[in-house]
Amino acid sequence: MREPLKLDDLQKKLIAFFKQNKNQEGLTLREIAANVWANHPQTVLNKLNQLVFKGYFVKDNHWYRLIREEFGSQQWDVVQLPIYWFAQCWNKGKAIIDEYSQETIPVTAAFVWSDLSKCFFVRAKGNSMEPKIQDWDLILIRQQDDYQEYDYVLVLHNQLPKLKKIIKENGKYMLESINRFFDKVEISPFDETKIIGVVKKIIKSL
């Protein structure tokens, strides 16, 4: 069994504080810092983000929700997932992406909630998917070539990696952005198009 990710004293205090106070959305980081004896609100923010990666919290609507209260309640499975840059994805999917990974990030099975061997991260680039996905956000992708209409997908379209929705409109498949200032792009039968995977989580850039 892999060595568990240890928690420091402040991380344990934050878990205990959120456990005792179920509704945190009305509190500021400064107020939380005062309650857990942290020296600065930014320290609290950093520790909460660390706890997301360790599988204790999820981030919903720009706030944090405790999902695991006990320090040793489940078996740890910690892996280093790669982070890929959009400019380096190129046109043949994961096999080529593997050659260009320059970063990794430690995550637990509880955080990913999927087959770890099929998951990786990419950095979002640009503003076509705002406000849902913003520039520099970390996006967890599960490798698969099937998707649902409501899914956001990582697709290689004419050698360009894109985060989009794929919709069918008037018998044609289209790449759709969330940002209303971006037009839909038709997927031509002559285009080179490959679904790499589906977006499973979005980690907002700080």
Nearest to 52 by CA among 6, 131, 110: 110
Say what the pLDDT of residue 89 is: 34
> What are the Cα distances from residue 8, in Å, to 12, 161, 190?
6, 39, 55
Residue 98, both tokens: 């593997």
What's the rounded Cα separation, in Å, for the pair 80 and 69? 23
Respond yes or no on whether the N-terminal peptide bond of residue 131 is cis (omega within 30° of 0).
yes
**How do residues 71-106 score in pLDDT, each as one tens digit?**
554 445 567 788 877 633 333 334 444 445 557 787
- Per-position pLDDT tens, the chain of length 206: 344 457 889 999 999 998 888 776 678 899 999 999 999 999 999 999 888 877 788 776 668 888 776 655 444 556 778 887 763 333 333 444 444 555 778 777 777 777 777 888 988 888 889 988 888 888 999 999 999 989 999 998 888 889 999 999 999 999 999 999 999 999 999 999 999 999 999 888 75
CATH topology of domain 9-66: Arc Repressor Mutant, subunit A (1.10.10)
Q: Contact, 67 vs 80, CB < 8 A?
A: no
CATH topology of domain 78-203: Umud Fragment, subunit A (2.10.109)
Domain spans, the chain: 9-66, 78-203
What's the rounded Cα separation, in Å, for the pair 100 and 85? 8
